[in-house]
Amino acid sequence: MSSLLIIGAGGHGRCCLDIALSMNQFDKIAFLDDKETETINSIKVLGTAQELEKYYPVYDSIVVAIGNNKVRKQMMEKAKEIGYNLVNLKHPSAIISHFANIGYGNVIFPNAVIEANSYIGYGNVICANTVINHDATIKDYCLIYSNTTIRPESIVNSLTRIESNCCIGFGTILPEGSYIGEGSSVNKNV
């Protein structure tokens, strides 16, 4: 077992805590957050995100639980430079193909489905009930909200945010930094 530091104790951080606890792989878990709080959901907040170096190697693994894609990227890069192990948090109810290729620092929520030969890069957030179909690509530092489907052979480029209840059509390519609003269906390249 290892120890996990969660950067960010807001709503996303609390969800990450829930996933980490359900994985039963960490003997010690704590938060770093810029708001002055002592505990969140009975878990200690050790200090601020700026104190990241102070807690390595006492905590060897880290997940950045910040919804802003650019800030999440910056914090992950800083944590990697320090030497932290950027872990994937995968809820046990998520269905992930043996043939999917998944990088590090991702958070995969309950009931997400990641099909065969799909690629998930680094630092992504795949929310509940989202389906990444076969041969789809999610590059780095994307946030894909609940109940969204990414169809086969689609490419979601880095730093993209896709709101809930969206469908990205077969073979569609979203450029870097795209924002897809809630309930949208995108069937051709943006």
Q: Is 91 a catalytic residue?
A: no
Smallest CA-to-CA distance from 124 within 142, 100, 147, 144 is with 142
The binding site comprises 67
Please state the pTM of the whole predicted model: 0.96
Give the pLDDT score at 37: 81
Catalytic, out of 12, 91, 98, 134? 134
How much helix, strand and coil, in percent to the nearest 5, is found in the chain? 20, 30, 50
Task: For the chain, give every residue range classified as CATH 3.40.50.20.
Answer: 2-87
The binding site for substrate comprises 67
Task: For the chain, give every residue range classified as CATH 2.160.10.10.
Answer: 88-183
Give the pLDDT score at 189: 72
Residues 6+ apart with CB under 8 A from 2: 25, 26, 27, 60, 61, 85
Which one is the CATH code of 88-183: 3.10.350.10, 3.20.20.150, 3.40.50.720, 2.160.10.10? 2.160.10.10
Report the C-alpha gap between 27 and 54 in whole angstroms.
Answer: 19
And the tokens for 168? 């990205």
Structural class in CATH, domain 2-87? alpha beta
pLDDT along the chain (190 residues), means of 10: 94 98 97 90 94 95 98 98 98 99 99 99 99 99 99 98 98 98 90
